[in-house]
Structure 1
């Protein structure tokens, strides 16, 4: 069964529904939230190495899990399960897959009571943000959405109290999320409890909107700008590296042809033309030196391919470069990558190291290529002059 193709069709279907039934009041339960939950599901599912069938079930459920909000906010889980069943039946999927998808969607209903790993994965992905750095922003967006639908302001302290209650009754179901998120979830809870009872004055509605907008500017826009910067820098470095390799290939090919001509033609005639020995040897040496530097410019340098847990803790290793992990086991590499993705400083630090390393390699390549081109340019001139002088001497 073509699960990947079905997921692509499913995604397009969900995106189309969110666009056609767009409601500005859905500040939290929108397409962005759904896409984040899908990403969380895929991350957890990859950890447990689910089969293609089970992977399809949890990803499909995550796409539909909040779609019911567009039709019936009070019974959105049931509506989402109904919409999922309709879509999957049209695709002629087996009944057992449809039932599993519906079960995963219904399991997200509060209080969550998932049965089995698949339902646990979807439930943990839905409330993944409770144990992440994005909790504050997501929580504010949720409160603004409730206010938009209720058409009234909600006291900040009252909302905090309800959120604390949610934290205390909620727990992650999968071992993966427990190990990954419980620590940060506890920090978020402690911070809310620390603010509880301090009697801070309630901000005016205008101030509250300004705070949300300011937070968005401080988090989303710089984050996107930084990621765009890294992506463009890495792409430019890759293009420059390809150009360097092409230049080296040209020099190697050109000098290989010249060497072939020298070895096959000129060397045979040196006995009859001894005056050409020096120019021929000069040209031979120039070609060899040029080829050596061109080869050095493209000669790969690979590290040991190993890293330790201490390297991860101290954030010394760059897991984005294959040379640092190609001899590691998949499990060790996945653990290292998960820790890096959960630590913003570690992640951006690795991206910085990756861009810097690319620059260092490029610097070495172009330095060697400059030497090769310089030797070839001045050497060819010298060799041609040597041939002219040798021929002139013989003529005289």
Structure 2
């Protein structure tokens, strides 16, 4: 064999290869993993009576078994064989190359192992499952797979896949079982506990979300009750205002009609000349004028008030699209889009209802102010008329 093909030179070659050719995404299958595999191969080989040739073949295969990740990760075992052959060339016997090739290909997951050397290399390659830092190394593999496969694993998915891997992957040699078997079993137990903890935490989060949703639903029902109550209250006040306006319109209309009829027919109380005297005209005139002004305010109060807002006011939430006076100016498509937005966003719906209530309140204020003026003017006219009649009567006597 070429004296340059020593383990030291091979390790330097592999280190340089990984350094220059391996992509940054491979944070698990790198030189550190290869070095660990080589060290474990040496350790396990000591437990068996392997000759120097077999040990050397194992060590060489261990150094090259993952070098294929630098060229084609999907078939890295075959690529590793090509790299090993290119490195050794014709400097070593073909038989030796063939044995190294067989050892490298045996590391392919699921392959049936045919010899003790293959079993030793297998156990060395998977020695991580029987070490204390299994979870730390597994996280590196997780990051590597996520970057390469563009897939994100949830904690539960990853923990379950690692548990299956631990259960299915067993050490083949008694030396590996004695050295790493107990820790592998502990790792299986820890992985199961981790899965249970993740499921428990997820269940707690689910319960919390359900509680939060129930609370939000309760709050939502409370808010809906609030808006229903306010709308109902506004409708009742509006109905009361209209009723009061109708009363005022009816009374004043009757008063004006009676006075006009009396004046028009020439009807008098008692003395036929008494009512026609000018002194009775003034109180009657006061009552007619006050009734006319009062009924005018009452009619204005009961009159439908249709307000319209510009489109930009609807878009800026300064007015509500729920009021017909506002949305009637919109095209059907625009109105449908506004309603879709309200259905999709609950807060926006509440805001629109709040604006609507605000404007309803403004209409009510106007109604009640006009009604107040109507009642006050009618009351003042009635009082002045009564005082006038009383004064005339006293003066006459």
TM-score by length of 1: 0.48
Q: Which of 1 and 2 has greater Rg?
A: 2
TM-score calculated relative to the size of structure 2? 0.48
